[in-house]
């Protein structure tokens, strides 16, 4: 896993690709859409059924979902990606309210049909097995909200997940809460409470989180520089940097210098977490600052757009081995590769050089340095 640590599936960096699909309101004992290759649960009454779940002795008719305690009327609504976060949760408290024996839930957990998220809150094992690291973390947030006395406001990494921000690393079972009163309980049991200035609540897919601007400031203040830049770069594609700076100036930040450093470095031009991390590593290695998203043309028209461009060295840098070209690739993989080669030939014919790198090179910065140095980029 190298320097990245934390929990990860697939490439070690991209915990959350920042999807922006239309969200859905919080589901409560209702069917939910398929996600990736997972099979949606089926329902009998208000009880989720799957091949491994034994139905309880009695299944009452589907009851209306209990209303959640109200939040301020001006709380904005934000949509989240359509994932297993909409999968039904089974609560022992609701089970007892319906006259069912909650011991049935514990029995199903022992049988392997249910997975316990928190004390008295379960999800179908099929849903859990099909969920990735990000989706499992979001299920933990919903489980915490189910057991809370009042609707919590999620902050920091938890808010980042709800807003769809990419995170280099995070603990899926850890929940971050903004304590607006400063009189709440202590952190513990997988919950980290963050005291401080009042943070407004925004509804995000049926849960409440700090605003995107506030979340970026919290991450810049509390996470390592690399992690913060990756998240803030992505956030700046959706909010204005001036608004984030203004909010940071109004709110007292213990780590103001850290926040200012991240905001000074961040850029909305980075189009992926890999590009953001590449920029940070280049900076740490003392390499020249590149121009981002530079268009290249010849007499035939637009050739393509490069992730990084060093004009003094006449060098193009590309993360993940793909140059972004206008139009869409169609045809067989061989045709796509051939067209890419022709475009690369056009770039080289203009007197430029091109170097590419992948995630593995970011995990070992000395490899990225060797690639760029061999291509002629001075330190």
* Domains detected in the chain: 273-374 (3.40.960.10)
Q: CB 135: neighbour CB atoms within 10 A?
A: 23
pTM listed for this prediction: 0.73
pLDDT computed for residue 73 by the predictor: 43
Which residue numbers in the chain have pLDDT < 70? Answer: 1-85, 180-188, 196-199, 252-253, 321-337
CB distance 87 to 142 below 8 Å? no
Q: Would you state the pLDDT for residue 187? A: 62
Is residue 2 within 8 A of residue 12, CB to CB? The reply is yes
DSSP annotation of 86: G
| Beta carbons of 224 and 254 less than 8 angstroms apart | no
**pLDDT digit string, tens, across residues 114-143:** 999 999 999 999 999 999 999 999 999 999
> What's the angle, vertex CA 272, arms to CA 268 and CA 278, rounded to 5?
90
Quick one: pLDDT at residue 300?
86
Question: What local confidence, expressed as pLDDT, does residue 305 receive?
Answer: 87
pLDDT at 85: 54
CA distances in angstroms from 49 to 125, 126, 368, listed in the order given: 11, 10, 50
Task: Give the distance, in angstroms, between the CA of residue 99 and the centroid of all CA atoms in the same chain.
Answer: 39
With a CB cutoff of 8 Å and minimum separation 6, the contacts of 130 are: 35, 36, 37, 38, 39, 84
Q: Which residue has the tokens 């973390």?
A: 137
pLDDT value of position 81: 40
Q: Would you state the pLDDT for residue 108?
A: 92
Considering only CA atoms, which of 269, 266, 354, 268 is closest in space to residue 304?
354
pLDDT at site 330: 53
């Amino acid at each position: 896993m190298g320097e990245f640590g934390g929990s990860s599936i697939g490439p070690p960096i991209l915990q959350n690709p920042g999807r922006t699909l239309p969200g859905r309101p919080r589901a409560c004992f209702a069917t939910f859409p398929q996600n990736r290759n997972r099979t949606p649960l089926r329902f009998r009454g208000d009880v989720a059924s799957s091949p491994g779940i034994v139905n309880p002795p009695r299944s009452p008719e589907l009851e209306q979902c209990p209303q959640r305690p109200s939040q301020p009327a001006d709380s904005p609504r934000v949509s989240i990606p359509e994932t297993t976060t909409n999968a039904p949760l089974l609560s022992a408290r609701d089970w007892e309210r319906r006259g069912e024996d909650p011991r049935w839930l514990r029995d199903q957990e022992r049988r392997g049909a249910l997975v316990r998220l928190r004390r008295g809150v379960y999800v179908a094992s099929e849903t859990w097995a099909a969920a990735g690291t990000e989706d499992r973390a979001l299920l933990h947030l919903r489980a915490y909200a189910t057991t809370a006395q009042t609707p919590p406001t999620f902050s920091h990494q938890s808010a980042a997940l709800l807003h769809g921000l990419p995170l280099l690393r995070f603990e899926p079972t850890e929940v971050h809460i903004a304590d607006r009163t400063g009189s709440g309980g202590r952190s513990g049991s997988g919950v980290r409470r963050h005291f401080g200035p009042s943070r407004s609540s925004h509804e995000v897919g049926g849960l409440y989180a700090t605003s995107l601007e506030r979340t970026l400031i919290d991450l810049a203040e509390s996470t390592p520089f690399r992690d913060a830049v990756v998240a803030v770069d992505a956030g700046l594609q959706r909010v204005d940097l001036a608004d984030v700076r203004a909010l940071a100036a109004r709110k007292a930040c213990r780590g103001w210098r850290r926040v200012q450093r991240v905001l000074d470095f961040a850029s909305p031009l980075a189009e992926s977490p890999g590009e953001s991390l590449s920029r940070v590593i280049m900076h740490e290695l003392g390499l020249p600052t590149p121009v981002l998203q530079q268009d290249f043309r010849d007499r035939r028209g637009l050739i393509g757009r490069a992730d990084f461009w060093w004009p003094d060295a006449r060098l193009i840098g590309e993360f993940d081995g793909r140059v972004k070209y206008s139009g869409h690739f169609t045809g067989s993989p061989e045709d796509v590769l051939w067209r890419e080669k022709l475009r690369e030939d056009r770039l080289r014919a203009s007197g430029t050089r091109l170097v590419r790198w992948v995630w593995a090179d970011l995990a070992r910065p000395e490899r990225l340095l060797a690639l760029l140095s061999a291509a002629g980029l001075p330190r």
